[in-house]
Every structure is written in structure tokens, then in C-alpha cells.
Amino acid sequence: MRQMNLCIDIDGTVTEPYYWLKRANLYFGKQLQPEDVTAYEIHKLLDIEADDYHEFYQLYGKLLHREAKARFGASEAIQLLYKHHNIHFVTARDEEMRDVSIEWLDRHNMPRDSISLLGSHYKANKARELNSDLFIEDCYGNALQLARSGFEVLLIDCTYNKGLLPENVTRLKSWSEILKIADNKAQIPYSELEMAQ
């Protein structure tokens, strides 16, 4: 068995990826559906200026993060992974979102060894500092950046992260698949029974 350092993004990775959509539609008078979210830059999808989205986020960011739903299976998988590995949440959220982020992770029973709020999408330095064995991410650009820096990335599939992937990035559909990859890499047998408990 090998203990690993797992770096895990928050938005779209452990949260449901479209949690911001309803409030953004209401605020900006749009009618986007999840299948319309084909790019990562939200302001482009909404056909608005970046500053306008930033203003919306300043008003509603904490509420959006607080009311986000968890991705199916994320909590259970992270609890299992935490038994054997170090869990480090690494997010592009700003430091001002620390309290609401910790509150959300605690409420959804997602244990951790650390949380880093970078205020930037550049995650390679933090991955290096944490000696990341696997980085779990939903952003295509972040996955490519991490891969170029030599990290193995598990990219959880979303409508907005399509594209060709280098060999050290694996696209997965679910947290149960993530568990299996971690199992194989660490040589720890997670049974289906354990996942179901």
C-alpha cells in the first residue's frame, strides 16, 4: 500500500458543476441550461462583460458556495480516500471564501488535511509544494497546465471541459471511477461493499 497526496479542486469537482446557473440566469435575465455550458468562462457563456460577472459574484458568491449541492458520490469517496491518503483541497477561490468553503466541506462530510485558496487558476506551484500524486480537477485549462508541469490529473467530465488530453490526464465520469484509479495507483482494494456503506 502506498499513501498518496491527493489534491482536489472544489467547484465542479466536489460540488455539482452548474450550481451557479439558476441565480446567474435570474440576475442577468438569461435562460441557459446545463447543456449550454460549453466553456469554463462564465461571463462568455452569459454574453456579458467580465466585470459584470465579477460584480454578481461579489454580491452572491458566498451564497452560491453555501447553497451548492455536492456531486454524487464525492463525500463517500473522499471519506474512503481519507482513510489511506492525504487530502488537500486546492481551489482558485479567493481567501475571502475560506470560511464558507470550510463550512461547506464540513457540512458535506468531506475530511481534509489542508485547504488552499489560491485566488488564481495557476495550481502547479501548490501541487508541487504538496507533492501531488493525483490532482482531481474539472477545468480543462487547469488540467493541461498541471499535466505540462508533470502531474497526473483526473479530469471529471463536464460539458465545459471537452478537448484532447495528454497521456497524464484521464477523463472520468464519476467519483466511483476516481476511487478505482486511486485504488490501482495505491494498491488498496476498495470493495464495492465499502463504497456502498
The model's pTM: 0.91
Of 186, 185, 85, 77, nearest to 130 (Cα)? 85
Identify the CATH number of the domain defined by range 5-16+70-196.
3.40.50.1000
| Burial (CB count within 10 angstroms: exposed 0-12, middle 13-18, buried 19+), residue 64 | buried
Which pLDDT value is given to residue 24? 94
CA 138 to chain centre: 5
pLDDT at residue 183, as a whole number: 82
Contact 195, 77 (CB under 8 A): yes
pLDDT in tens, the chain (197 residues): 678 999 999 999 999 999 999 999 999 999 999 999 998 889 988 899 999 999 999 999 999 999 999 999 999 999 999 999 999 999 999 999 999 999 999 999 999 999 999 999 999 999 999 999 999 999 999 999 999 999 999 999 999 999 999 999 999 999 999 998 988 887 766 544 354 44
Q: Residue 6, exposed/middle/buried by CB under 10 A (0-12, 13-18, 19+)?
A: buried
Question: What is the rounded distance in angstroms from the CA atom of residue 27 to the CA atom of residue 72?
Answer: 27
* 191 Cβ contact list (under 8 Å, min separation 6): none
Domain ranges of the chain: 5-16+70-196, 21-67
What was the pLDDT predicted at 41?
A: 86
